[in-house]
Structure 1
Amino acid sequence: MEDITAQRTTLCPSARPESVNGVVFGVVGGKATEPRIAYLKQPLPMTEELMAKASPVTPGEIFRTATSCIESGCQHFNGKDCSLAMRVVDKLPVVTEDLPPCSIRRNCRWWQQEGKAACRRCPQVITDDYAPSKKVRQAADPAV
């Protein structure tokens, strides 16, 4: 199987599912009050067909997706680093001591920037979380 992330240098692990050239690297599982990402062995291209399978909910409620980091085109990029990754590490609790079996790690901006600290918090990050905790809301807010 072809490595669909090989041509990308840095991936944003918090991309919207509808992003150009997005890949799915995880599926939301766990409980509604304590969701957790189940990581795929290999990322899959995010296709219209895959997005349609999420219905009746949004693809962001089910899939964790990544795409090339757009750096200064993103509200979370401060000119040098991803401030979202910094806030995730600063505001969210560790949810696993072991590094998750993540298929995008070597290209992940969060990993490259924050290392293990980001990976130990990543499984609780859900793109479309309609009942986030106060800490999750703070971590997601670029104004904080």
Structure 2
Amino acid sequence: MKKFDCPSSPPMPNSKLLGVFNEETNRMEILPEPVPIDEDIRKELERFGDKKMKTVRLTNTCATKACGQWNGHKCTLIGGILEKIEEKKREKGLQDCSIRPTCRWYAQEKEEACKVCTLVQYDQAS
């Protein structure tokens, strides 16, 4: 079975930094390659306290049945996001993304997932 990457992982062992929130554009800027979270990055994130997960996006291996967003066959998070984000707010084209070949959202929703990806911020309440 092919392993997929979650583009909106909670903080957990082996998570990597995928993107950083840009307040000017109000979008996540996806990094050219995911960056392993070392002690320096961890300390920098701690500066944001409870809001730290609103400032970054993490990636990790998709947890499938160990994740509350998994319905047994697919990730329900991206479907809900696509329902909520208006067409006019979505990206017009696809930006470069190093995890696209293994991205769970892309595997399910193709380019439509990519068009909303930069608008997604992690919600710790989910």
Normalised TM-score (structure 2):
0.85
Q: Count residues with an aligned counterpart.
A: 121
Paired amino acid for 1:13: P
Residue number in structure 2 paired with 1:38: 29
Which has a greater percent of helix?
2
Q: For 1:127 and 1:51, how far apart are their aligned partners in 2?
A: 17
C-alpha distance after superposition, 1:32-76 (max 9, x if no partner): xx6201111111012232121123214312211110111011110
C-alpha distance after superposition, 1:13-36 (max 9, x if no partner): 1111x21211111110034xx620
Q: For 1:38 and 1:50, how far apart are their aligned partners in 2?
A: 16
Question: Which fold has the larger relative contact order, with Cα–Cα distance below 8 Å and residues 6 or more apart in sequence?
Answer: 2
Alpha-carbon contact 1:28-1:63 (below 8 Å) kept: yes
Q: Which residue of 108, 111, 118 corresponds with 1:116?
A: 111
Mark the runs of 5 or more structure 1 residues left unpaired by the alignment: 1-7, 130-139
Mark the runs of 5 or more structure 2 residues left unpaired by the alignment: none
Structure 1 ranges of 4+ moved more than 6 A? none
Residue 92 of structure 2 is aligned to residue 101 of structure 1: no
Normalised TM-score (structure 1):
0.75
In percent, how many aligned pairs have the same letter?
29
1:1-144 equivalences in 2 (<5 Å): 9-16=3-10, 18-31=11-24, 35-58=26-49, 59-94=52-87, 95-128=90-123
